[in-house]
Amino acid sequence: MKTSTIKTDILIIGGGSAGIMAALRAKEINPQQRVVIFEKGNVKYSGCLTKGTDALKVVTVPGTAAPEDYVEDAVLSCEGILDEGPSYEMAKRSWPLMKKLIDWGVGFPKNDGQYEIIKTHAQKGYTVTMKEPNLKGILFKRLQNTDCVILNRTMAVDLIKEDGRVAGAIGMNIRTGELIICNAKAVIISSGGCARFGLPSNGYLYGVYDCPANTGDGYNLAYQAGAELTGLEYTMHLTKDNPECERYAADKGISENNTEFRSTETFLCGGHGLTGIVINEKAESSIPGLFAAGDAANVGKGHLTGAFVFGEIAAETASEYVKTVSNEQAANSRYLKAIEDKIEKWLNTAKPEVTIEEFEYKTRRLIGDFLTSPKNENKLNRGIETMKIMQKELFEIVKIKNTHDLVKAFEAESIISCGILSATASKERKESRWGSFHYRSDYPAKDDEKFLKLLIVKKDEKTNLPAVSLRDPQKVLDLTGNNAGRVTVHE
Ligand SMILES: Cc1cc2nc3c(=O)[nH]c(=O)nc-3n(C[C@H](O)[C@H](O)[C@H](O)COP(=O)(O)OP(=O)(O)OC[C@H]3O[C@@H](n4cnc5c(N)ncnc54)[C@H](O)[C@@H]3O)c2cc1C
């Protein structure tokens, strides 16, 4: 396979909402620094945005709500399992972000001179109606005015680590199979959540709610590199919430009332849900050189606001970080060798019996069977066992005929890894929380005493297995006593 090597200051993995915003901000801060984007699809129309957004979900519009109000509401909506620092930072920057988008030509309709604010939280309203079907196009146009290197059709397949820090990634061109070694001083993961997790009720592998290119690659890459992840037990499914459906119905001239909409498949996501690479309010992960933003990160229920704000924050922190790294380090050849060996293994499968599509179908059906609520110890154990079997069979029985199949095999590897991590986390959370997203029939009650905590999953270096720990959610607001709830202890 052909290989090539590139060098950069900042590598961004995933050119969706968070990724584009990170690239734009990095260039705004320092036009001289080099920025490379690996995008599995095409930056022009990839990611969640083109699936249709009709609101900026979190904005603290002055005069209607304060960032502190949002944090209080967000903690309630996440049933206490939320690091407040990143959410507070997001809320503080949400109004300046909206003003910036307006300057860029993004439409936010007004009624009687007021923005339309929908109340989706318990106490106050933060969701501002946005009418901008071309939002990705607006962002893409701005990106075209920079000298960022955009590598479309390039899927990150491994992170490079040198001297304990993340120092780049290996990408694969999804059409030619060319391997690209990118030596970087800093890496931002913004590759979305794991949309292709459970199977949708229509049975189509790609008929999912979230962007189907998002297969939990970022979660898996970060996990394999030793970073902390959280919220993997938050296995969610949504009811219809998609302007795309509205537009589809309008285009076809049918009434939405006559159309049957079901709840979505189970998926993992940091934007709608709580799953993600653990980051702090500066978008730093638990390992040096690695930053995360958007649905790949755990800014609980941050939606598009979280992706945009943390795209920017990740770029700001990474831009500072690269100044501390003297040179982008040449990748140790073992990384390339490991990927080449893996590809070799796939191309020479001992008993090629099933297509990769059949294999993915079965994996995701098993995720539905064992990893989705109602959960219990027995099902979750079976889930871990079956995912491990799938992990093995991926290299033993799957026919890999071409580069396209190879890409899907890498994706299946991420989906299975997410399955193992999710089952492990769900097993450990011996309580029920978040309604049907984590319901344990063997522990049907909520247990705040033991489990009002974030469940952290991380690879154990010695055993190579996921290790789980619990920690208290980070608090930044003092909401007790007579302080009227507005004492900020964290700046
Ligand atoms: C249907 C729908 C409607 C929504 N509506 C709203 C709304 O109205 N308001 C709101 O605030 N939020 C809404 N959201 C949520 C919001 O759109 C997302 O939270 C946000 O866009 C996520 O941005 P992201 O950059 O993390 O992910 P994405 O924009 O999905 O970008 C991820 C990118 O990574 C790429 N990628 C994946 N794997 C790899 C890899 N291995 N290598 C390279 N690239 C990779 C993908 O191709 C993709 O382009 C909606 C989401 C959906 C799906």
- 238 band by pLDDT with thresholds 50, 70 and 90: confident
pLDDT at residue 1 is higher than 70: yes
Average pLDDT rounded to a whole number, residues 151-168: 96
| Mean pLDDT taken over the chain | 93
Residue with the smallest CA separation from ligand 1 atom 27 is 192
pLDDT of residue 485: 43
What is the percentage of the chain residues whose pLDDT exceeds 70? 94
- Is the preceding omega at residue 243 within 30 degrees of 0, hence cis? no
pLDDT, tens digit (0-9, with 9 covering 90-100), for 420-467: 999 999 999 999 999 999 999 999 999 999 999 999 999 999 999 999
**CA distance linking residue 160 with residue 168, whole number of Å:** 5
Q: What share of the chain is helix, strand, coil (3-state, %, to 5)?
A: 35, 20, 45
Q: To test ligand 1's pocket by mutation, which of 188, 303, 339 has the most ligand atoms within 8 angstroms of CB?
A: 303
pLDDT of residue 240: 57
The ligand 1 atom nearest the CA atom of 38 = 43
pLDDT of residue 314: 98
Q: State whether residue 153 is helix, strand or coil.
A: coil
Average pLDDT rounded to a whole number, residues 90-110: 97
Q: State whether the beta carbon of 193 lies less than 6 angstroms from ligand 1.
A: no
Residue with the smallest CA separation from ligand 1 atom 16 is 304
Q: State whether the beta carbon of 275 lies less than 6 angstroms from ligand 1.
A: no
pLDDT, tens digit (0-9, with 9 covering 90-100), for 41-89: 999 999 999 877 889 999 999 999 999 999 999 999 999 999 999 999 9
Between 16 and 133, the more confident residue is 16
According to DSSP, the residues that pair with 149 across neighbouring strands are 36
pLDDT at residue 329 is higher than 90: no
- 482 band by pLDDT with thresholds 50, 70 and 90: very low
In 3D space, the residue among 232, 219, 213 whose CA is nearest the CA of residue 159 turns out to be 219
Average pLDDT rounded to a whole number, residues 369-397: 98
- 391 band by pLDDT with thresholds 50, 70 and 90: very high
pLDDT of residue 455: 98
pLDDT of residue 177: 96
pLDDT at residue 484 is higher than 60: no
pLDDT of residue 439: 98
pLDDT at residue 348 is higher than 90: yes
pLDDT at residue 481 is higher than 50: no
* Domain covering 333-454: architecture: Up-down Bundle (1.20)
Task: List CB contacts of 37: < 8 A, sequence separation 6 or more.
Answer: 11, 12, 14, 15, 19, 23, 43, 148, 149, 150, 151
Q: State whether the beta carbon of 273 lies less than 6 angstroms from ligand 1.
A: no
pLDDT, tens digit (0-9, with 9 covering 90-100), for 52-63: 788 999 999 999
Q: State whether the beta carbon of 307 lies less than 6 angstroms from ligand 1.
A: yes
Determine how many CB atoms are found less than 10 A away from the CB of residue 367: 29
pLDDT at residue 486 is higher than 50: no
**CA distance linking residue 245 with residue 78, whole number of Å:** 27
CA angle 3, 10, 143 (to 5 degrees): 95
Amino acid at 53: T
Q: Where are the beta strands (DSSP E) in 163-214?
A: 165-173, 179-189
Between 98 and 258, the more confident residue is 98
pLDDT at residue 213 is higher than 80: yes
In 3D space, the residue among 31, 10, 33 whose CA is nearest the CA of residue 22 turns out to be 10
pLDDT at residue 244 is higher than 70: no
- 488 band by pLDDT with thresholds 50, 70 and 90: very low
- C-alpha 341 – ligand 1 centre gap (Å): 31
Average pLDDT rounded to a whole number, residues 27-44: 97
Average pLDDT rounded to a whole number, residues 159-166: 95
